Homo-oligomer: A and B are copies of this chain.
Amino acid sequence: MDINQYLDQQRQRVDRFLEQSLPDRLRDPDKLYESMRYSLLAGGKRVRPILTIAAAQALGYDDDAMLPFAASLEFVHTYSLIHDDLPAMDDDDYRRGRLTNHKVYGDGMAILAGDALLTMAFELCSQDGSASGLTAKQQLDIIRELSFGSGHQGMVGGQVMDIQAENQEVDLAHLQKIHSHKTGQLIRAAVRIGGIIGGASSPQLESLTGYAEDIGLAFQIADDVLNMVGTREELGKDAGTDEKRGKQTYPSFFGIDGAKKLGEECIERAINGLQSFDHQADPLRHIATYIVRRRS
């Protein structure tokens, strides 16, 4: 299969849903919607929603009714970027090649736009699901995954660990703990939510979870490497920021080549873990490889 074509198609599918999910700026409070749309529709790769879709497809489910659940992960991801970029946190001026949300709308609006996006993720997942063929129980399971992956035991917890670790000596085990929370848990949630949508059995959900944990780690390693070797054009934001901040990363432990090799090993493990799935899991397999080879 042509993975680039697949990713393009699924990204467009997600983008169409995202575009119509938010009221336009003509509705009150117009500034809030403008600010939410500015960041949500800034043209990301939509990796997390596509993982949800690909996991559901691996189990034979491919109905558009899953899009609100897939999109909810992009809502959470986008809110986290807006809050992370704030002066009180990473203080970044650029994101995806454009000014960050607070540089355009001010810190207060950026905080509120993030809050609204996070809340709306749960609104999307709790809508009447009768059209999707999902049971209320499945929807509840999805919401539990989403809240776990994005909250104090997941993404937010990891973000706090990351801040606490800045300019401190951090060993490899602690670095892994930070990343498995900060980026890993939401990727894990994305894949597991796809599994729940597709009606995965317990062993199937377990296989998918293993896959997600492996690619989550690979994703973070690739991010660290890109931050070191990527150009400003490729990244759409400043490069080399981790080093400047004195942050420990995978390349700082293993060197660039060592980190790359570690990423490749994760991917191999991720793909091996999908052996019980048939060709319908090919997108998941190709996404794994894509993650470590991407340039931005």
Whether A122 contacts B143 in the complex (CB less than 8 A), given A28-B161, A136-B135, comes out as: yes
A190 to chain B, nearest CB (A): 16
User: B160, A144: Cβ atoms under 8 Å?
Assistant: no
Which single member of B29, B151, B163 contacts A116 (CB below 8 Å)?
A: B151
- Which residues of A (232-250) have their CB < 8 Å from a CB of B? none
Stretch at the interface among A52-60, A102-110, A263-271: A102-110
Is A83 part of the binding interface, using a Cβ–Cβ cutoff of 8 Å? yes
- This chain: copies in complex: 2
* Nearest CB of chain B from residue A136's CB, rounded to whole Å: 4
* Chain A interface helix/strand/loop/mixed: helix
A111 near B89 with CB under 8 A, answer yes
Report A23 CB to chain B, min CB distance, Å. 8
Known: A160-B31, A164-B31. A152 touches B116 (CB 8 A): yes
Q: How far is the CB of A133 from chain B (nearest CB, A)?
A: 15
Contacts A29-B164, A112-B159 known; A127 to B150 CB distance under 8 Å?
A: no
Greatest chain B CB density within 10 A among A86, A120, A140, A163 is at A140
B-contact 0/1 string along A142-170, CB 8 Å cutoff: 01101110111000110111011000000
Q: Does A36 contact B (CB under 8 A)?
A: yes
**A119 and B32 contact, CB distance less than 8 A:** no
Cα–Cα distance between A275 and B250 once the two chains are bound (Å): 66
Q: Is A137's CB within 8 Å of the partner chain B?
A: yes
Contact indicator B83/A156 (Cβ below 8 Å): no
Q: A140 to B152, alpha carbons, bound, how many Å?
A: 22
Provide 26 A-B residue pairs closer than 8 Å at the C-beta atoms, listed in order of the A residue.
Answer: A29-B161, A31-B160, A32-B156, A32-B157, A32-B160, A79-B115, A83-B115, A86-B108, A88-B88, A88-B111, A89-B108, A111-B111, A112-B160, A115-B118, A119-B151, A119-B156, A120-B147, A120-B152, A122-B122, A123-B151, A126-B147, A127-B144, A135-B136, A136-B137, A136-B139, A140-B140
Contact residues of A with B, CB < 8 Å? 23, 28-29, 31-33, 36, 79, 83, 86, 88-89, 106-112, 114-116, 118-120, 122-123, 125-127, 129, 135-137, 139-140, 143-144, 146-148, 150-152, 156-157, 159-161, 163-164, 177
* Chain A to chain B: the 8 pairs with minimum beta-carbon distance, closest first: A88-B107, A119-B151, A136-B136, A123-B147, A29-B160, A126-B143, A126-B144, A32-B160
